[in-house]
Structure 1
Amino acid sequence: MKIAVAKGDGIGPEIMSAVLKIFDANKVPLEYEMVDMGKWVFDKGFSNGMTPEAQQTIERLGILFKGPMETPKGKGVKSVNVTARKTWNTYANKRVFQTLHGVDTVFSKAGIPIDITVVRENIEDTYGGIEHMLTHDVALSRRFITRPGSMQVIRYAFAMARQKNARRITCGHKANIMKITDGLFLECFYEVAKEYPELKADDIIVDDLCMKLVTRPDTFDVVVLTNLQGDIVSDLCAGLVGGLGFAPSANIGDHICIFEAVHGTAPDIAGKNIANPTALLLSGFAMLRHLGLTENAAIIENALLYTLEQGVHTGDFGDKNKPSLNTTEFADAIISNFGKMPQLNAKELLANKPGTPTPLKLEKNTMLESKEIENEKIIGVDMFIESNEQPDVIAKKCQRHAGVKFNLVNISNRGTQVWPTGSVYTNLVNQYNVRFESIDTYPLNQQDVIGLYVSLSGDFKICSLELLNMWGEKKSYSSAAGQ
């Protein structure tokens, strides 16, 4: 099988060479096509951090194995890591965090074993990077959570949990505050949970999750979260097992998958041959198992675990009374331990059942859309306006524009109601949300909203607007604090 390999920036080429050396020594049946990605590709003028030839190769082969990559700062370009995941719809980011003998942490010293799998939604949320300055004082970031996108990652998480014989799957969320976005994600979680009655499915607010992870991490098994929350919790879990140097990452899609080290490029030690290749090697195990090369993965992982148990280490971890090895020496130590079994967490030697990573050739973009069960109707609009006037002054102006189809029902500032009731102790910024609803909730059309927009624009700069929709009798918009 052929896979695409991008060595990465900084320490990337060194740790990738070490991992591929280990694979070759174990006669892993893979061929590698090197592709051009990373900071130096940005510097050549490719705004997505990869050459067109690299993109074509990855789409042809279906598997990308990549080292850490740097995104140039201050040049207005997106992270190549995020771009790659989103371009190829690798919707599930899977990271496995396990106690490694020889990597001392407060939990390993206390005899508390950790085996947590975090599944993070990989495409949506604030990682869309859709931001605007509404006024010179007010910035807006749009957060997209979709039903199809949530169902993709949650179905993957449940299927993976069943496969690994998990005892528990937990949804981390902030639906107590973001009732519509996180509420939709949580709703999808329990919808899928009905299909897996043998799994204990529960949910937890994400701040409570973080507190419990650092006090009793052994009580968690599989955790699934939205993108930003999953990003934060993933790094928290990495800290529980020794840091990002021991954190593998698999980005799973229907057609293309990416396996990578998620730690930084460490330019301060680049070229010194002292970097720790463990995280990339652990990501390589996930790739080998994904490709059906389970025996190769088990032999190499057992050798790694045995090596760690012997106290062998690079300079970033381990017993400082024992001399550390450089990157090449660490790889050689693992190779020399092929066939040896660790005392803890030995992996079963299952025969290879190689599949093919080659994706289907797609002719058009896939449209993800669920069935609309109830009819949609527009019952109002939120107009986001720029003004430094007081709420009652704004209200009098807005009421003049309401006409015969709209009622002015609420004015809020930074999410807090300031009209018709409010407090003079509420600090204001120069951007308000003015909410109009239909008289007697009579359904409106977009032409009605445009007419209000045109009229209102005579008094205010309108920064943006959002329709107030209902499906059946369910309101699909939030209320202001204090409303």
Structure 2
Amino acid sequence: MKTKIAVAKGDGIGPEIMDAVIRIFEAADVQLEYEFVEMGKSYFDAGHSTGMTAKAKETIENLGILFKGPMETPKGKGVKSINVTARKVWNTYANQRDFRTLNGVETVFSKAGIQINLTIVRENIEDTYGGIEHMMTNDVAVGRRLITRPGSAQVIRYAFEMARRKGYKKVACGHKANIMKLTDGLFLETFNEIAKEYPDLQAYDIIVDDLCMKLVSHPEMFQVIVLPNLQGDIVSDLCAGLVGGLGFAPSANIGDNISIFEAVHGTAPDIAGRNIANPTALLLSGISMLRYLGFTANAASIENALLYTLEKGVHTGDFGDRSTKSANTTEFAEEVIANLGKHPSVGGAFSQPNFECKTNTDHKPEKNKMTVTQPDIKEEILGIDVFVEYAGQPGELAEICKTKLNDKLKLVMISNRGTQVWPTGSVYTELIDQYRIRFEQANEGGLTQRDVLGLATELSDVVKIASTEMLMKFGDKLGYSLAQGQ
């Protein structure tokens, strides 16, 4: 019996390259049945705010697998990216992108004889991609960066399990915990905890800027790299550049219930309908999907045919030897089909899976899953940070705040753009019209929400409040950072 999957052809060149890939699958006798769903820019334009019809959403949730072409999000109009929305709504928490040297795809590294074979695993749900942003004043925008322990654990454990399945020996954690000590610090802390469960793998961490430098100079050093969402997005595109560009970069978005396989390059509207687009990235993504679904022999056969085709110099107009004739999309697919059963001279694929965690579509969850790692941990309120709009000097603001103090809270610090400006600071620190005022408990005995929010309410009589954050202690760890210079 054939396995049914949802297919969204996408926008721009999407339909052309999807048709080419499906022709290759059919020629290879892959036992798939396709249910085409309505997603993309035209559905935004038709009034569907999520970029998909209700029927498409239902189909994808019932089947658990979406194979999609590139999609365009309309610029402006206040709409969210359909690609990001799909990944987040269906909790495809791990974005896996495999990068390898391909014969026939010339890069500075292939010319130097340096072979690249690395995988980026990017956290796919959290970080700045929550899109939670506010204007605190007319001059100050703020975005919340959410890093959670459960979300970090999901993607990090996936990275270690995938490394084992694919025979990798090293897993690196890319981060910026030297600066973002709580958010990236939590991601790194979770990585170090989970690494203890995999003593057979070498686990180490690397600051993301150092990682980028090493990737463009010695990419052969790395095998698996797991990163938070935004950093992973940037680093994965950097790695695509190492192997020839986004046209050779497959993408798998893995969740426990729904998974998405897609090309992550653009829709290329300038060449849409001309039958000259390169289908390689979507084909490689499809090959990953086949392995995920258990069609490992089909996956190996198609991958070997693709590698053989590239090795023989067949190319579309965006890469390859410019002195030889380019193949169009249809011709490239026909070459791959003609080469089924053939093997490249180097770098051939085998019929082993690199996924063993197929999406669970046996039942639909009855309610949203809630994960709390330590529900009984002791929590204490130690104070409050009050963010205010104020265009005066720090000392003046401090005197205003002192008029509202009570016996439970004391004024500790005022910062501007994260740098302390009171009680000490420098006259050379340039200011904007948004300050953070930190109040901490004045005496032993603990604080309540009413205590700290009551102070914020009192303060609102004399200065404009933009937002507040409670200063918490969880167990023996402080849940807030110090200001620069504090």
The aligned counterpart of 2:163 is: 161
**More off after superposition, 370-379 vs 198-207:** 370-379
1:379 is matched with 382
SS, match of residue 443 in structure 2: helix
> Are the aligned partners of 2:258 and 2:359 in contact in 1 as well (CA < 8 Å)?
no
CA distance in 1 between partners of 2:12 and 2:94 (Å) = 26
Segments of 4+ moved more than 4 angstroms: 350-357
Residue of structure 2 equivalent to 1:396:
399
Q: CA deviation at 1:358?
A: 3.0
Give the secondary structure class of the aligned counterpart of 1:402.
Answer: coil
Q: Is residue 132–residue 140 contact of structure 1 (8 Å, CA) maintained in 2? A: yes
Please list the CA deviations of residues 380-427 of structure 1 after superposition, one character each: whole Å capped at 9, or x if unmatched. 000000000100000011011111110100000000000000011100
C-alpha distance in 2, partners of 1:187/1:355? 28
Unaligned runs of 5+ residues in structure 2 are: none
How far did residue 345 of structure 1 move? 1.1
Between stretches 6-15 and 370-379, larger displacement belongs to 370-379
Letter in 1 for 2:145: R
Confirm whether residue 215 of structure 1 aligns to residue 204 of structure 2. no
Q: CA deviation at 1:357?
A: 6.2
1:5 counterpart residue number: 7
> How does 1:8-157 map onto structure 2 within 5 Å?
8-157=10-159
Q: 1:359 to 1:42 in 2, by over 3 A?
A: farther
- Residues 19 and 409 (structure 1), Cα distance of their counterparts in 2 relative to 1, 3 Å cut: same
How big is the shift at 1:441? Answer: 5.3
Query: What is the alpha-carbon distance in structure 1 between the residues aligned to residue 131 and residue 148 of structure 2?
Result: 16
- Say which is worse superposed, 344-353 or 390-399, in terms of deviation: 344-353
* CA pair 437-350 structure 1, distance change in 2 beyond 3 A: closer
In the TM superposition, what are the counterparts of 1:159-238 in structure 2 within 5 Å? 159-238=161-240
Secondary structure at 2:403 match in 1: helix
**Structure 2 residue matching 1:83: 3-state secondary structure:** helix
Q: Does 2:320 match 1:315? A: no
**Identical positions, percent:** 67
Report the aligned-residue RMSD. Answer: 1.4
SS in 2 for 1:440: coil
In the superposition, relative to structure 1, how do residues 363 and 357 fare at CA in structure 2: closer, same or farther (>3 Å)?
Answer: closer
- The one-letter code sitting in structure 2 at the alignment partner of 1:424 is V
**Corresponding position of 1:436:** 439
2:287 corresponds to which letter in structure 1? Answer: F
Structure 1: 5+ residue runs without aligned partners?
Answer: none
Quote how far apart the aligned CAs of 1:373 are. Answer: 5.5
Q: Distance in 1 between matches of 2:442 and 2:115?
A: 60
In structure 2, what residue type is equivalent to 1:86? K
After TM superposition, give the deviation of residue 472 of structure 1 in Å: 2.7
The equivalent of 2:270 in structure 1 is: 268
> C-alpha separation between the residues in 1 aligned to 2:42 and 2:402?
57
Residue identity matched to 1:213: L
CA distance in 2, matches of 1:395, 1:380: 16
Aligned residue identity for 1:107? F
SS of residue in 2 equivalent to 1:224: strand
Whether the 8 Å contact between 2:256 and 2:359 is mirrored in structure 1 is no
User: How far, CA to CA, are the matches of 2:473 and 2:357 in structure 1?
Assistant: 49
Q: Is the 1:385–1:460 contact (alpha carbons within 8 Å) kept by the matching residues of 2?
A: yes
Other-structure match for 1:476? 479
Alpha-carbon separation, structure 1, partners of 2:281 and 2:78: 29
The 3 A distance-change label for structure 1 pair 391 and 65 is same
TM-score using structure 1 length:
0.98
- One-letter amino acid of the counterpart of residue 438, structure 2: R
Greater mean deviation of Cα atoms: 361-370 or 382-391: 361-370
Q: Are the aligned partners of 1:247 and 1:261 in contact in 2 as well (CA < 8 Å)?
A: yes
Under a length normalisation based on structure 2, what TM-score does the superposition of the two structures give? 0.98
- How many residues were matched structurally? 483
SS of equivalent residue, structure 1 residue 214: helix
Tell me how far 1:476 sits from its aligned partner.
Answer: 1.0
In structure 1, give the amino acid aligned to 2:387.
Answer: F
